[in-house]
C-alpha cells in the first residue's frame, strides 16, 4: 500500500481532531515532517545539544498557534 494511504489510516481527519478535548486554552499544532523510505514512513527529529543551559538534549518540535483571519 502506498505511503500516503497508510498515513491516512493512522492520522485523524480534521473533523476528528477538532472534536478532541485537549487541555489548555490555545489551539495549536505541531509539525512532524515525514518521508517515505522503503515501505515505511520515517519522522525527522533534531536533538538539542547536551551542553545548552536550558532544554539540553530535548527534541524541539516546530509548532504554532492557530491564527484566525481578521
Half-sphere exposure of 53 (CA within 13 A, CB side): 0
**pTM across the whole model:** 0.49
| pLDDT single digits (tens) 17-34 | 888 877 777 777 788 888
Distance (Å, whole) CA 20 – CA 26: 13
Q: What is the pLDDT of residues 24-61, one digit of tens each?
A: 777 777 888 888 888 777 888 989 999 999 999 999 88
Per-domain boundaries in the chain: 3-65
The pLDDT of residue 2: 59
Please name every residue paired with 36 in a beta bridge, in sequence order, or none if there are none. Answer: 41
**53 in Cβ contact with 66 (< 8 Å):** no
What pLDDT band is residue 70 in, cutting at 50, 70 and 90? Answer: low
Amino acid at each position: 500500500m502506498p505511503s500516503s494511504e497508510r498515513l491516512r489510516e493512522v492520522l485523524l481527519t480534521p473533523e476528528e481532531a477538532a472534536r478532541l478535548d485537549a487541555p489548555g486554552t490555545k489551539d495549536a499544532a505541531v509539525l512532524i515532517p515525514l518521508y517515505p523510505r522503503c515501505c515505511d514512513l520515517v519522522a525527522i527529529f533534531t536533538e538539542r545539544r547536551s551542553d545548552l543551559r536550558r532544554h539540553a538534549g530535548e527534541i524541539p518540535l516546530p509548532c504554532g498557534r492557530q491564527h484566525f483571519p481578521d
